[in-house]
Copies of this chain bind each other. A is one copy, B any other.
Amino acid sequence: MTTKPSPGNDEPFVDIHELYTEEVRDKEMKPDKYCRIHKDKGQHHIGKNHHHHHNGVKFTRQVSLETGFSVFGNCTKKEERRSKLLTRSGNSFGEFRGAARVTDVRRGEFNLFRTKTTLSRQNSLLPLRKLAEQDVHHHHPPLPQAEEDVDLEVPAGRYFAALQGPELDEVKDSEDILLPKDELWPFLLRFPIGCFGICLGLGSQAILWNTLSTSPATRFLHIPPYPSLALWLLALMTLIVVSFAYILKSAFYLEAVRREYYHPVRGNFFFAPWIASMFLAIAAPPLLTHGPPHPALWCVLMTPVFLLEVKVYGQWLSGGKRRLCMVANPSSHLSVVGNFVGAILAAKVGWEEAGKFFWAVGFAHYLVVFVTLYQRLPTSHVLPKELHPVYSMFITAPGAASVAWEAIYGEFDGMARTCFFVALFLYLTLVVRINFFRGFRFSVAWWSYTFPMTTASVATIKYAEQEPCVLSQGLAVALSALSTAMVSVLLVSTLLHAFIWGSLFPNDYAIAITRHKVGVKGKAKTIRKAANGIKRWTRSSSLALVSSVAKNPFEKDASGGKV
C-alpha cells in the first residue's frame, strides 16, 4: 500500500488499461508518426510541463496531468516505459516530489473531495495556479473530469464493482483510485463514519452497566452506579469528539462524506450518531439527571433517524442498484435497529405510542432484512461469502426489539420472548463459530460488532428479571462479562493503535474510487476492431503481437517495447 516510487520509472501505479487503449489506438493510426511526434514534442514538453500541444492525441481518461506527461516524456526510453505502463496512476504523482509545485498539485488532488465553497475560496487565493489550470484545461479537457468524477454521485453499482470485502472497504486490484496511495492523506479524509461505532460500543456499555446496577435480576452482584457513570461520561466524551471530527470532515470534505453516504455499507452508519446519542439518553445516570428525559430530546434524535429511514427504505423499495436484494448486508441491521432504540427511548420519555410506531416500522423492515439475509440471494453483492464479525449485527435487532417491546407494551410476553430467544440463538450460533472471528485485522469497524453483544446482554438481564432463576441470571452475567471484556479489549487496542502505533486511521481508499471503470474487456474489443479494420498492420509481425495482446491484456508492455 505504501511502496515508495522507484527511481527512473517513477510511476509505480499506472492504469494500464487506460493508457494502453489510448496508445494502441494512436499507434494503429500512425505508428511511426506517433512515436516521432512524441520524440519531438514529448521531449520538448517534458521541460515545459504544462504547455504541450498534441494534435490528434486525445486522452479519454486520465487521472492526472502528471500521469499523462510521464507517458509522453518517456516515449524514447522504451525499457523504462514498459515498466512504467505497468504502474498505477495513483502513485504517479510521486515523481514530482522534487518539483516546486508538488504541494499545490497534491492539495489540488485532495481538493477533489473538498466542499465546493471551501474549494472556490481557496482557489481565489491561488490566482497563479488557476491560470495554469486554465491553460491546461484549454488543451486537456479531461482534467475537469476528475473533478466531475467527484462531484457526481458514484452509482451504487460502482461500489460493488470496485470494492470488496465484507465491509466493502478494500479496493480491488484492478481498480484505480483518485488519491495517491503512497502517502498519508489528511486526517479528516481518513476519518471514516465507522468511528461512530466506538460511540455505539461505549454507549451500549453504559446502558449495560446502568442496567446491571439497577436491575433486580442482578442485584446480587451489588454493582455500584459509578462504573456506569464513568462509562457514560467516556461515551459522551467520545461522541462529542467523534461528532466534532466528523462535522469538520463534512465542512471541509463534503464530497468525501457524500461518497460515504452513498456507500452501500457505510450508508447504514449514518444512523449510528443518532443511535449512540439515544444510548446516552437512555443510559443517563440517575446521579446526574432528575427524572426522565424531556420528549423534545426524543424528537430531536428521532427526526434524523426517521428522515434517513424514509430515504433508505425508499431506496430499498424503488428499483435501481440500491434495492434491497442488491444492498442487503448485515450492516443493514443498523438501519433497522434505530427504530427499536428509539422505541425504548420513547418509552422512557413517556411516549409509548410513538415508540410503538417505530417498533412496528422497525419490525416490518427487520423481517424483510432477516429473510433476505437468510436467503442469501445470489443478487446480493455485499454479503460476505464467509462468516465474519459483521454477522454479529444479526443479534442486535431482535435483542433491541425484545427490550423495546417490553418497554412500550409493559410486558415481556410472547412477542418479546420470541425476539429475545431468536437473538439468543443467533448469538449461540455465532459463538459456536468463534474461530470465524479470529484472524481479522483490527479496524475501527470492530467497535460496531460489540454493541450487538451488549444489546443481547441487556435483553438477557430484562429476561432474567421476568424469569429469575440461576440459569437466566447466570446467562445474564456471563453475557455481560463477555461483552464488557470484548469492549475492554477493543478499547485498549484502539488506544494502542491511536496513540502508540498511530495506525488507527489508514487511508480510506473506499471513498476514492473512480466513477467509471475502464476495463480490460473494452480494450480487447477495441483492439480486435482495429485489427479487422486496418490493413497496414497485416504484413508486419506486429499483427501476431496485437492478437496475442488481445488475449493477454496485461502484457502489452512486452510488445510496447518493440514498436
Contact = CB atoms under 8 A, between A and B. Distances in A.
Contacts of A364: 370, 418, 422, 425
A537 interface: no
A425 B361 contact: yes
A476 to B, nearest CB: 14
B421 A383 contact: no
B310 A432 contact: yes
Q: Among A323, A357, A374, which residue has the most Cβ atoms of chain B within 10 A? A: A374
B319 A383 contact: yes
A361 to B, nearest CB: 4
B357 A424 contact: yes
A414 B410 CA distance: 11
B313 A429 contact: yes
Contacts of A316: 374, 376
Contact of A429 (B314, B319, B328, B420): B314
Interface in A379-418: 379, 383-387, 391, 405, 409, 414-415, 417-418
Interface in A143-193: none
Given A319-B386, A414-B415, A467 B353 contact: yes
Given A372-B375, A376-B325, A378-B379, A360 B421 contact: yes
Interface in A512-533: none
Given A371-B367, A424-B357, A319 B376 contact: yes
B324 A374 contact: yes
A123 interface: no
B325 A360 contact: no
A376 B323 contact: yes
Interface in A411-465: 414-415, 417-422, 424-425, 428-429, 432-433
A377 interface: yes
Nearest to A418: B360
Nearest to A424: B357
A363 interface: yes
A166 to B, nearest CB: 11
Nearest to A416: B414
A296 to B, nearest CB: 15
Contacts of A356: 414, 417-418, 421
A308 to B, nearest CB: 12
Copies of this chain present: 3
B385 A319 contact: yes
A376 B377 CA distance: 11
Given A372-B371, A375-B368, A357 B425 contact: yes
Interface string A27-44: 000000000000000000
Tell me if A's interface is mostly helix, strand, loop or mixed. Answer: helix
Give the interface size bracket for A toward B: 35 or more
Contact of A370 (B360, B368, B409, B421): B368
A472 to B, nearest CB: 8
A318 interface: yes
A359 interface: yes
A543 interface: no
Given A319-B386, A386-B319, A418 B359 contact: yes
Contact of A377 (B325, B373, B409): B325
A317 interface: yes
Given A368-B370, A371-B372, A409-B414, A421 B378 contact: no
A195 B456 CA distance: 41
Contacts of A384: 319
A357 B428 CA distance: 12
A155 to B, nearest CB: 15
Nearest to A311: B432
Nearest to A364: B422
Nearest to A360: B421
B414 A310 contact: no
Nearest to A376: B323
A27 B321 CA distance: 47
Contacts of A360: 417-422, 425
25 contacts: A314-B432, A316-B374, A316-B376, A317-B374, A318-B385, A319-B386, A323-B375, A324-B376, A325-B375, A325-B376, A356-B421, A359-B418, A360-B420, A360-B425, A361-B421, A361-B422, A361-B425, A364-B422, A365-B374, A367-B370, A367-B371, A371-B371, A371-B375, A372-B374, A375-B377
4 nearest CB pairs, A to B: A360-B421, A319-B385, A360-B418, A323-B376
